Amino acid sequence: MPPQKTPPFAEWLIRKILTVIAKIPYKITTHGLDRLPAGGFLLLPNHLTWIDAILLQLACPRTIRFIIWESYYYSRIFRPFLSFIGAIPISNTRAKDAIRTAIEHIRAGEIVCIFPEGELSKSGALLRIQRGYELIARQAKCPVVPVWMDQIWDSVFSYRGGRFFWKKPKSLRFPVTVAFSEPMDAHHANAAAVRQRFLELTEFCFQRRPFLRGHLADACLRGLKKNPGELAIIDGHDGTQFERGRLLAAALSLASIVRARVPENRVGIVLPSGAPAMLANLAVLFAGKIPVNLNFTAGKSALESSIRKAGIGTAITAGPVRDKLKEFPWPANVLLLDELKKDIAGGAVKWILLAKVLPVGLLGRIAGIPRDGDRTEAFLLFTSGSSGEPKGVALTHRNLLANTRQFGDMLDLSSSDVIFGALPFFHSFGATVCLLFPVIEGVRVVTYPNPLDAAKCAALIKRHRATIMLATPTFLRGYLKRATREQLGSVKLLVTGAEKLPQELSESFLEKFGIEIMQGYGLTETSPAASFNLPNRVPDAIQASNRRGSSGRLVAGLAAQIRDPETGTPLTLHQKGMLWIKGANVFDGYLDDPARTADVLHDGWFRTGDLARFDDDGFLFIEGRMSRFSKIGGEMVPHETVETRIVETFGFSGEGERIVAITSAPDEAKGEVLVLLATREITQNDLREKLSATGMPNLWIPRHILRVPQIPVLASGKLDIQGCTALAKQAAK
């Protein structure tokens, strides 16, 4: 029997009652209603809460008919309601009847909705897109409209925190944004295309979250004002500890000094990661200025270039640091924290008293804390220079506020968690995750200035019961030789980034410490976290939160495209090609460098320089960096693949340091030639014989071998591509 075009009175009445009730706790903002086709179509939403259907109906002025799993439809609790609103039951054994009914309703001009993930997400991530909807759309010959419901992961009806319902609401009128996509043709709306459209919708919604218009200084002030008696930072170098309230008062006191003595807008900070560096960064932010953490391990020419480009006239440091850095090109004005110690302490007394009695808004106004930052510059970081002269990456308040929230939403930490971060603040991972994130989100952090001192780092992790560990693969290798399983026993999450995680390192770490390394992916230009793996939230759950060999799922609010590396032609997400991303955490451009900016940014999309693909479940696989490929005889040869094969073939797995690196040198005959840098003795004949036996093409076998005392790496732990290339040219000669 064909469906009625006008819903019966009972259905109309219950929809109205639910609408009135649901509008009490929810404030819904809708985008894209003008995109909805006039006739019947198939609606595809994301699925995070038990009330998604109600929220969708609130957002849409037309009646929506939902396809519901039979087990829910016929339950005693839901059946009266679901039958009233004309829901369509479906099951694996009676799918044809449901599909036939859905098609009839669509042809009658109605909206039919099916949740394409097939189940509620218990991780907050977009799950695999099931393909059943394709059959309905193609048989009905109707448009397909993806729709995204944003911020509902924070709802009490989601699984955030490991449970449904029993959570404290974050606000009295919970904000929800619902965005409808442009209609898609049924024959082109495959799973990969629908996932890409979902990612674009979530980016659109995330960009409209009000907190992104704020200022980092205001966010840090509010973060430190909460729970002022709790520890904010433990400096593993000298044992210095700051409670949140004392850190706030000291930073406000130092901010007054910075305002009075620093005329420039950007302020250089030359300090290892630790309590003084955190204090200096907060003070500069509170003074309404821009911190520039300078990489004091870089060469003099790179530092001079960075200081000149940033227009730095003042640097904040400490006497022992200045004495140690003899060749550092110090600017004319240098503020020494040890000399300012008494002034800071004296001024902090006032702020301690004011912070105790004043609300955060009034305290911020008295302290002159900016509240509006949005797209203005907040932090200036210089790239490590791994492949050329350092570039100034100007990250905005929007960028960094977005990434701290994205990181926090995925980790969902509690106040009992402790981060161990031995990453330098001049590295984007260190600046965001070890400096800003703990301050804003109220998580304790333990720092240490030397990430290569694995023995000391491991001792600090044990002493302070750190639960979250952040590192790069290069820094992790030292733990295999110098740390014990007992020392890392408190660690429940270990996230690594900056470079690809070697499989042998991951396996060795798991075997020795019982810790599975969660690989992530990010760039300075993305503030930096773009994706990462997580431990499964529910034991033995089908919904995996990590996948071996991948870099995890994208953070919330980040859209992605895969394009042909040479032509820029769009590919599907499942094909291998150049990764382009877009989101609130993506920078707006390089400092005073419009040519480089135009080369990587197009209409808000950022060309990462990495070759990648996504699998059906949305996990990102980085296949290699374009700068780590050589074109030999017209064929693209991946350096990392050759490195991995050499490590496996020669039995270098499990070593506590990087043993080999592949780079290239110019070659007249074939354009380029591969060069192997190795810290072990390897002969050309042995290399060719063993690699040929594994089936490796001759073009992929390095023609030159250079024995080196150690493989060049940067202070951030990344491979020093520029340093390797210089050695390769020397070897090729």
pLDDT surpasses 70 at 171: no
Q: How far is CA 109 from CA 98, 552, 677, in A?
A: 17, 40, 67
Q: Which residue has the tokens 């110690």?
A: 341
Question: In the prediction, which pLDDT does 386 show?
Answer: 46
Contacts of 137 (CB under 8 A, 6+ apart): 42, 143, 144, 186, 189
Cα 137 from Cα 517, distance rounded (Å): 41
Strand segments (E) across 205-278: 231-235, 241-243, 266-269
Percent residues over pLDDT 70 in the chain: 88
Question: In the prediction, which pLDDT does 10 show?
Answer: 58
Question: In the prediction, which pLDDT does 4 show?
Answer: 40
pLDDT surpasses 60 at 6: no
Mean pLDDT for all residues in the chain: 86
Question: In the prediction, which pLDDT does 31 show?
Answer: 95
Q: What is the mean pLDDT of residues 647-661?
A: 76
The H or E element containing residue 320 is helix 319-324
pLDDT surpasses 80 at 80: no
Q: Is residue 705 very low, low, confident or very high in pLDDT (cuts 50, 70, 90)?
A: confident
Torsion, Cα 235 237 239 243, to 10 degrees, reads -10
Question: In the prediction, which pLDDT does 26 show?
Answer: 76
Which is it for strands 64-69 and 111-113: parallel, antiparallel or unpaired? Answer: parallel
Contacts of 91 (CB under 8 A, 6+ apart): 69, 70, 71, 98
Question: In the prediction, which pLDDT does 153 show?
Answer: 81
Q: Is residue 5 very low, low, confident or very high in pLDDT (cuts 50, 70, 90)?
A: very low
Q: Is residue 3 very low, low, confident or very high in pLDDT (cuts 50, 70, 90)?
A: very low
**What does the buried/exposed string (b/e) look like for 123-133 if buried means 16 or more CB atoms within 10 Å of the residue's CB?**
bbbbbbbeebb
Backbone angles phi, psi at 30, to 5 degrees: -115, 140
pLDDT surpasses 70 at 77: no
Question: In the prediction, which pLDDT does 49 show?
Answer: 84
Closest CA to 678 of 687, 669, 689, 667: 687
Could you read off the pLDDT of 511-527 as tens digits, one per residue?
999 999 999 998 889 99
Q: What is the mean pLDDT of residues 255-282?
A: 96
Q: What is the mean pLDDT of residues 426-454?
A: 92
Question: In the prediction, which pLDDT does 1 show?
Answer: 38
Could you read off the pLDDT of 368-380 as tens digits, one per residue?
999 999 999 999 9
If you average pLDDT over each of 39-43, 60-64, 156-160, 415-419, which comes out highest? 39-43
Q: What is the mean pLDDT of residues 199-226?
A: 96
Could you read off the pLDDT of 324-352 as tens digits, one per residue?
998 899 999 999 999 999 999 999 999 99
Q: What is the mean pLDDT of residues 380-389?
A: 69
Question: In the prediction, which pLDDT does 555 show?
Answer: 94
pLDDT surpasses 70 at 495: yes
Q: Look at 560 and 51; give whichever has higher pLDDT.
A: 560
Torsion, Cα 579 585 591 597, to 10 degrees, reads 30
Contacts of 690 (CB under 8 A, 6+ apart): 649, 650
Backbone angles phi, psi at 121, to 5 degrees: -75, 130
R_g of the chain, CA atoms, integer Å: 28
C-alpha of 612 from chain center: 16
If you average pLDDT over each of 160-169, 309-318, 479-488, which comes out highest? 309-318
Closest CA to 624 of 504, 520, 499: 499
pLDDT surpasses 60 at 693: yes
Contacts of 573 (CB under 8 A, 6+ apart): 192, 195, 196, 560, 561, 562, 613, 614
Backbone angles phi, psi at 167, to 5 degrees: -140, 155
> In order of start, what are the domains of the chain with their CATH numbers?
9-208 (3.40.1130.10), 547-626 (2.30.38.10), 633-732 (3.30.300.30)
Q: Are 530 and 523 in contact (CB under 8 A)?
A: yes
